[in-house]
């Protein structure tokens, strides 16, 4: 069902409000239930997105919605100043070609998109993500390119590599991560079906310089309480960052509501959205799983719970945020036409929803 037609199911209603903000650790890709769920999470796109490492099977062009070759999008005609009638639309590239032109591997490019370092352009007619030539030029013009770009997207996997980057031992690194001092940027499932968390190397180095006291000595009282309770805040911290990044990539109220709904258990979504038509809209707009999310059933069963909020207070936070986002979405007039679609383009063909304004 075309995006505009799907959204047209929903009418107008309450006054407009701004959608909810992201939870903790906003600033550093898509969450849906592994395998989808009936009536709430149907997806036709391949399960993936710009999260995780590059060694997970799957082509980045499929994960990011791309396809071979280049696409084109733009508007002919002019404005009050008189744009030439034969003005060419901006050149748009597929994800694979954009990654090649930036000299990045699949996983590196996915991480750059995830972190907002490379902004998506308008989607092609079939829904494939494209990247404007002007955006690639902007990235290449950055100071210190490509060294600084690679430094910002460099990741380390697991406690041993993380401990080396932090300058401490693996056990202390694990304790700091479990107690919420370090926020993962992604994950992968290894051959033993264990979760391997990924961290930005630059963030680990910044933490070591900022909190040297936590790298040695006894654990703070708060950490000791968490350890005694066998708490592990890594999944929750990752979800917060993940949702925050997704919210920053769109100002569309229904897409923002879909992001928040995607991390809630099905029962919570049905309670928050009793109208089946609205649930169809949220399901159609639900973001794909993060890049690197496993497709093998055994591994997907391990990774699936990471995508869902579990602690009661976390569920309550997302439920409250969803209610608030839905209020704003329902208040939008002309939901099928002039709702500020996320694939509208700016002057250079770059998606307005992926600009630098951040969450709205």
Tens of pLDDT, residues 80-119: 444 454 567 778 999 999 999 999 999 999 999 999 999 9
Q: Which of 3-12, 62-71, 176-185, 332-341 has the highest mean pLDDT?
A: 176-185
**Does the model's pTM come out above 0.75?**
no
Tokens standing for 245? 């990044």
Give the Cα separation of 351 and 343 in Å (integer): 6
- Give one DSSP letter per residue of 214-226, joined into a string: GGSSSPPHHHHHH
Indicate the Cα dihedral angle 243, 269, 235, 24, nearest 10°: 40
Tokens standing for 13? 């209603």
Tokens standing for 112? 């750059």
177-205: average pLDDT = 97
The phi, psi pair for 268, rounded to 5°, reads -65, -40
What per-residue confidence (pLDDT) applies to 277?
95
What per-residue confidence (pLDDT) applies to 125?
78
Give the Cα separation of 182 and 274 in Å (integer): 37
Residue-averaged pLDDT of the chain = 77
36: pLDDT strictly greater than 70: no
What per-residue confidence (pLDDT) applies to 84?
52
49: pLDDT strictly greater than 90: no
pLDDT tens by residue, 230-249: 999 999 999 999 999 999 99
Is residue 6 within 8 A of residue 264, CB to CB? The reply is: no
Question: Which residues touch 178 (CB under 8 Å, ≥6 apart)?
Answer: 226, 227, 231, 232, 233, 234
172: pLDDT strictly greater than 60: yes
138-158 burial by CB neighbour count: b if 16+ within 10 A, else e?
ebeeeeeeeeebeebbbbbbb
Q: How far is CA 20 from CA 53, 77, 247, 298, 351, in A?
A: 29, 37, 9, 34, 21
């Amino acid at each position: 069902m075309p995006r505009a037609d799907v959204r047209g199911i929903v009418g107008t209603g309450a006054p407009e409000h701004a959608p909810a903000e992201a939870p903790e650790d906003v600033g550093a890709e898509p969450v849906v239930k592994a395998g989808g769920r009936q009536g709430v999470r149907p997806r036709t796109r391949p399960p993936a997105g710009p999260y995780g490492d590059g060694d997970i099977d799957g082509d980045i062009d499929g994960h990011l919605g791309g396809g071979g070759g280049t696409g084109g999008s733009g508007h002919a005609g002019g404005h009050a100043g008189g744009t030439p009638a034969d003005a060419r639309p901006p050149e748009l590239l597929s994800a694979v070609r954009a990654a090649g032109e930036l000299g990045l591997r699949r996983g590196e490019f996915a991480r750059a998109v995830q972190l907002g370092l490379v902004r998506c352009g308008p989607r092609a007619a079939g829904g494939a993500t494209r990247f404007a030539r002007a955006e690639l030029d902007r990235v290449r013009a950055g100071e210190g390119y490509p060294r600084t770009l690679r430094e910002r997207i460099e990741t380390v996997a697991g406690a041993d590599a993380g401990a080396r980057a932090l300058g401490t031992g693996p056990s202390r690194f694990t304790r700091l991560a479990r107690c919420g001092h370090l926020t993962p940027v992604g994950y992968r499932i290894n051959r033993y079906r264990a979760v391997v968390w990924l961290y930005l190397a630059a963030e680990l180095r910044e933490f070591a310089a900022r909190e040297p006291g936590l790298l040695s000595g006894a654990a703070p009282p708060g950490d000791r309480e968490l350890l005694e309770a066998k708490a592990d805040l890594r999944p929750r911290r990752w979800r917060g960052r993940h949702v925050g990044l997704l919210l920053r990539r769109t100002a569309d109220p229904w897409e923002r509501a879909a992001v928040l709904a995607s991390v809630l258990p099905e029962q919570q979504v049905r309670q928050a959205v009793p109208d089946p038509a609205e649930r169809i809209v949220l399901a159609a707009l639900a973001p794909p799983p993060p890049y690197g999310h496993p497709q093998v059933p055994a591994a997907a069963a391990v990774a699936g719970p990471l995508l869902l909020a579990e602690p009661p207070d976390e569920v309550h936070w997302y439920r409250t945020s969803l209610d608030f986002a839905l209020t704003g979405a329902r208040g939008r007039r002309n939901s099928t036409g002039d709702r500020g679609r996320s694939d509208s383009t700016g002057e250079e063909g770059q998606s307005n929803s992926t600009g630098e304004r951040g969450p709205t």
